[in-house]
Amino acid sequence: MPPSDAPPAPTAPPPDLPATTAQKSRSVVVSLTPARQRETWAKKAEFLLAVVGFAVDLGNVWRFPYICYQNGGGAFLIPYCVMLLFGGLPLFFLELALGQYHRCGCLTLWKRICPALK
């Protein structure tokens, strides 16, 4: 192959260029890579309803008033709501945050946290 047809050899950027120019050329390469699209919920309300639907089934909804009546009505409902606010909701959001951090579902998450659950 004649020397005029040979592709030019790659060269390093000149040392007198500022660092920002080298960073810009690197960011162009990164921006050319295709970004992977993730599915998302259309609305926050849809997400919350789906999570509540998975956590609470119809049997629990029908059974709760009966359990309230059997255990003293308001005397049961007040401590139940207190424990829900100060125990249940923080643990619920902790599980959501851990799942998002580890990028996995709840079953896989607890298997990673506590291998004895396998």
Mean pLDDT, the chain, whole residue set: 77
What tens digit of pLDDT does each residue of 35-91 get?
A: 777 778 888 888 888 888 887 877 887 888 888 888 888 888 888 899 999 999 999
pLDDT at 7: 62
Please indicate if the annotation marks 105 as binding a ligand. no
pLDDT at 86: 96
How many other β-carbons are positioned within 10 Å of the β-carbon of residue 22?
A: 12
pLDDT at 25: 53
CB 104 within 8 A of CB 112: yes
Please indicate if the annotation marks 53 as binding a ligand. yes
**Among 109, 80, 82, 116, CA closest to 95:** 109
Please indicate if the annotation marks 116 as binding a ligand. no
Over residues 30-34, mean pLDDT: 61
Please indicate if the annotation marks 71 as binding a ligand. no
Position 76: which residue type?
F
Return the percentage of the chain with pLDDT > 70, whole number.
70
- Please give the DSSP secondary-structure letter assigned to residue 71: T
- Using the predicted structure, report yes or no on whether residue 31 has a pLDDT greater than 70: no
Element containing residue 77 per DSSP (H, E)? helix 74-83
